[in-house]
Amino acid sequence: MSLPRLEADLGKIGHNARTLAGRLSGRGIGVTGVIKAMLGAPEVARTLIDAGVTSIGDARIENLESLRRAGIDARMVLIRSPMISQAARVVATAEASFNTEPDVLTALSEAADALGTVHEVILMVELGDLREGIMPDDLDDVVDMVLRLSGLRLVGLGTNLACRSGVVPDATKMAELSALTAHVEQSFGIDLPVVSGGNSGNLDGALGTDELGRINDLRLGESILLGREPLHRRSIPGLYDDAITIVAEVIESKLKPTVPWGEIAQGAFGEVDTAADRGMIVQSILAIGRQDVDPDGLNPPPDTEILSASSDHLVIATPELRPIGSTVAFAPNYSALLRAMTSPFVTPVWRLPGDRSTVPSGDSSPRAPGPARSHCHEAS
């Protein structure tokens, strides 16, 4: 089987999605399953749909187009503000999109009119995290504009927190979004059926005792795929946190000193070696590197230590020499998962529910190099 590879257990991912959807439905909240970290994989989309998510969300129109080509017939939402250059593609592919810019909204309306359809929009409101969002004082003007555009239907408001600046989506923030929703409805005499409160960072409150106000949608990615919440990176009780592993092959294993010799300057990525002298240790090299994965986001197996990484090599320390051709499996965090899935050199494989075998991914997902690191997940 191809190496390096990313193995995803669809049974565990489905369990996570089903568990969260069930818990949240009891509080009147639907789940938008965000799969941008999986590069538009239809296998994952189908798993989430079967588990009860209300819609599929992604930040890239290319991924949503890939899902449509694969025959996915679910409601799809573009969760990143559309590029104006892609307005026609957004309207043709997604039922709804998150928006902040008047010029983009105009372009979406014109594209919808040309296709003879109506595109749904959720307006994102800035509540302090300082990424995307309309300032609250400007919201009425944008709402008024949307209501005048024949190709658009305003269906809700949303916000994004716990992302760029780490602002916690607490009860106070949810009350602000709820109050803005009520204000818009009363001021314009409309109903807003969608109030999207945020991402996996909202789960502490949503699954706890916090007052959620009007919140009835959450965009969940990391919690479904990795079984963790992003505020503190804690595992969520009742969920699998080992559904995804990254496996790499050993291409060298030797006894070597821990301290380099010779004149020391910067390494390839600007680092300076400051390793303490631990004598001779077993160092193994794996055929995976920074081009393929975020090494800082890999959790190694017991008795294994990650020493360093270059573009194409990951150097680890182990108690004993590793056989050449053997493999080492790591648990990724979201950053490592995102980079591995967007590397053309890492093969995704899907473990079917109830089956320990793995099935290679098809060609339905684009395989193009992607962003090196993401500090924010579901809200994209």
Active-site positions? 36
Q: Which DSSP state fits 82?
A: P
Distance CA 281, CA 288 (A): 21
Closest residue by Cα to residue 32 from 90, 94, 87? 94
Q: Output b/e per residue, 110-132; b: 16+ Cβ within 10 A.
A: bbbbeeeebbbbbbbbbbebebb
Closest residue by Cα to residue 181 from 125, 128, 104? 125
Q: What is the DSSP string of 25-38?
A: HTTT-EEEEE-GGG
Distance CA 209, CA 57 (A): 27
Cβ–Cβ < 8 Å for 51, 12:
no
CA 195 to chain centre: 20
Give Cβ neighbours of residue 208 (< 8 Å, ≥ 6 apart): none
Cα atoms in the 13 Å half-sphere on the side-chain side of 4: 31
Neighbouring CB atoms inside 10 A of 284's CB total 24
How far is residue 252 from each of residues 6, 203, 290, 298, 346, measured CA to CA in Å?
A: 21, 43, 18, 20, 19
Distance CA 177, CA 192 (A): 12
Closest residue by Cα to residue 377 from 235, 223, 167? 223
* Total H helices, total E strands in the chain: 10, 19
Closest residue by Cα to residue 329 from 252, 247, 226, 243? 247
